[in-house]
Amino acid sequence: MATVGAPALQAPVPSVLRRAAGVLSEPRRALLVAVVILSAVVGLDALSDPDVWWHMVLGNWTLAHGQIPQTDMLSYTVNGVPLAPHEWFSGVLFAGLNNAGGLFLLALVMGAVSWIGLIAVAVHGRIRGAGPVTIAIGLALGAKAAQPVLGIRPQVFTFAFLAITLLLTEVHLRKGGRAIWALPPLYMLWANLHGGFVAGIAFMGLAAGVAVVGWYLRLPNHVPLGRPVSLGIVAIGCALFACVNPQGLASYRFALSEATSEGSKGIIEWQPPSFADPGLWSLLALVIAFVALGAYALRRRRLAARDAILGVVACGSALLAVRNTAVAVAVVTPMIMGWAADALKARPPRLIKPRPLTAGAVLAGGLIVTLAAGGLGLAVSRLQASAAPSGVAAVYPACATSVLERAPTTQLVFTAYANGGYVAYRLWPHGYVYIYGASDAFTKADFLDYYRIASGATTSPTAVQLLESSGTTAVLYPTGALTRELARAPGWTRVLTDHGTVLLLRDDPSWAAGATCSP
């Protein structure tokens, strides 16, 4: 019987609409739908990762020549040095999407890839027994923690594919089935998009190995032996399929060596997270939640060995390098959801009276979801603005680079590491940069020279000496010690300032006479 003042929805109503109305009329489910929609926002970022520019240069070169670059071609300091093509297909996709619809389309597609990963995390949490509110809170925390490492990055493919891998692994260990066999072809694609495929194989193999040991020791909640054995076979298949890439087996050596070598070069994303940065507080909260709820599960003897081991490995990797944050989100967020749900179930049950399907309840739930959709729409609008030329010019030295495009001769440009890819995108092949984001092509010594120049060193070898010995013809760098030192050095002329970035030219600057940019 309908409640007074709130007429019940009566049949005939199409079953799909009736199910949708049922979701909207339940506040907890409406909240979950709203959070799922809003979680798409964290991946919508066009400009946070400067590497997108050089990926597009190499991607366009691949499309034009029908072959994959094997050596560096954008830098004048290491030009011709072997370059591991572990992200070549990401570059092709980036270039193709940018050519088809600009940076906005590219950012939308990569945001969708991030969203797929987050949805996989939510579904994984549901399989572990979490309810709508628990999933919503856990998803919000995980999405916010992952936000600093999302955007237009090849690593986003690793986040999404790892989340899918972990979801299918959990389903297989719990129920068996054939869905797990969808992974080997996925890994063949993944290995050409990003070297993080190694992490997926490692977590799969680790989960299978721990499950076998659990079966052998007859640990609580152990699974039948056939499931981890078949999971191990699938992991081997994934490892073999992943060899179908330009590097073959060498891709494993590169992925493992990169994790140990890049941190020594001072690149921020390879450094341990600094929790003085508010942007990383969500990661800290995620780790704390993992430890606290994991301890609770252990006390209640509900902590699975594979969860403990995989979670510790994932959190440890995130505490070693910021770029591994997405790995931790994919691995531990579903665990947190499951443990939180288990903790709530341990409390005395609370009687919840069923709610009638009323128009008012549906409208309230619809309003919540509509507001979330509006928030997503606003984020897309802001993305479109940031991806426009004016938005790019607010972040990168677009005007000063336009001046360099008019140079009568090839320009060798020293610019900030974060701007190297953009300047190469605009100038190459009529200009080259000192250093840029393909860090595996540069040695630690190359980075040390870069830092010495950037600091405006006045002791031998000075910044000026290093620039001249490298043949640098232009410097495009933020106002500071380096630009002040070059302003005093003979042979260097300050031409203009572009939003705080100074352009200085060596030798004859007459071709740039009269050029101006906004201050």
Instruction: State both tokens at 161.
Output: 């594919």
Model confidence at 514, pLDDT cuts 50, 70, 90, reads: confident
Please give the pLDDT value at position 462.
Answer: 96
Residues sharing a CB contact under 8 Å with residue 387, sequence separation 6 or more, in sequence order: 46, 47, 102, 103, 104, 107
Q: Which of 196, 94, 218 is nearest to 149 (CA)?
A: 196
Q: How many CA atoms within 13 Å lie on the side-chain side of 41?
A: 19
User: Mean pLDDT across the stretch 228-232?
Assistant: 96
Report whether pLDDT(206) > 80: yes
Report whether pLDDT(403) > 70: yes
Q: Which of 145, 54, 157 is nearest to 112 (CA)?
A: 157
Q: Are 321 and 263 in contact (CB under 8 A)?
A: yes
Please give the pLDDT value at position 109.
Answer: 98
> d(Cα 93, Cα 259) in Å, to the nearest integer?
24
CA distances from 212 to 217, 299, 310, 377, 492 (A): 9, 23, 15, 47, 67
User: Mean pLDDT across the stretch 179-195?
Assistant: 96
- Grouping H, G, I as helix, E, B as strand and the rest as coil, residue 494 is strand
Q: For strands 411-415 and 431-433, give the pairing.
A: parallel
- Grouping H, G, I as helix, E, B as strand and the rest as coil, residue 239 is helix
Q: What are phi and psi of 75, to 5 degrees?
A: -105, 145
DSSP secondary structure, 288-332, as one string: HHHHHHHHHHHHTT---HHHHHHHHHHHHHHHH-GGGHHHHHHHH
Instruction: State both tokens at 33.
Output: 């739908």
Quick one: CA dihedral 127, 128, 134, 136, positive or negative? negative
Please give the pLDDT value at position 193.
Answer: 97
Report whether pLDDT(441) > 50: yes
Q: Are 42 and 36 in contact (CB under 8 A)?
A: no
User: Mean pLDDT across the stretch 408-433?
Assistant: 97
- Rounded mean pLDDT of the chain? 91
The pTM is what?
A: 0.92
Please give the pLDDT value at position 12.
Answer: 47
User: Mean pLDDT across the stretch 299-311?
Assistant: 91
> d(Cα 475, Cα 93) in Å, to the nearest integer?
31
Q: Which of 133, 116, 135 is nearest to 125 (CA)?
A: 135
* Residue environment code for 58-91, b if the CB has 16+ CB neighbours within 10 A, otherwise e: bbbbbeeeeebbeebbbbbbbeebebbbbbbbbb
Question: In sequence order, which ranges of 147-182 are alpha helices (DSSP H)?
Answer: 155-175
Determine the straight-line distance between the first and last CA of the chain, rounded to whole angstroms.
70
- Grouping H, G, I as helix, E, B as strand and the rest as coil, residue 495 is strand
> d(Cα 258, Cα 218) in Å, to the nearest integer?
39
Q: For strands 411-415 and 492-498, give the pairing.
A: unpaired
> d(Cα 170, Cα 311) in Å, to the nearest integer?
14
Residue 255 carries which side chain, given as an amino acid letter?
Answer: A
Residues sharing a CB contact under 8 Å with residue 335, sequence separation 6 or more, in sequence order: 128, 290, 293, 294, 307, 311
Placement of tokens 């991607």 in the chain: 59
Please give the pLDDT value at position 253.
Answer: 86
Model confidence at 256, pLDDT cuts 50, 70, 90, reads: confident
Instruction: State both tokens at 509.
Output: 């600057």
> d(Cα 408, Cα 240) in Å, to the nearest integer?
50
Model confidence at 424, pLDDT cuts 50, 70, 90, reads: very high
> d(Cα 4, Cα 19) in Å, to the nearest integer?
23
Question: In sequence order, which ranges of 176-304 are alpha helices (DSSP H)?
Answer: 183-193, 197-217, 226-241, 250-261, 281-299
Please give the pLDDT value at position 353.
Answer: 56
83-97, 246-260, 323-337: range with lowest mean pLDDT: 246-260
Residue 243: strand pairing partners: none
Percent of the chain with pLDDT over 90: 78
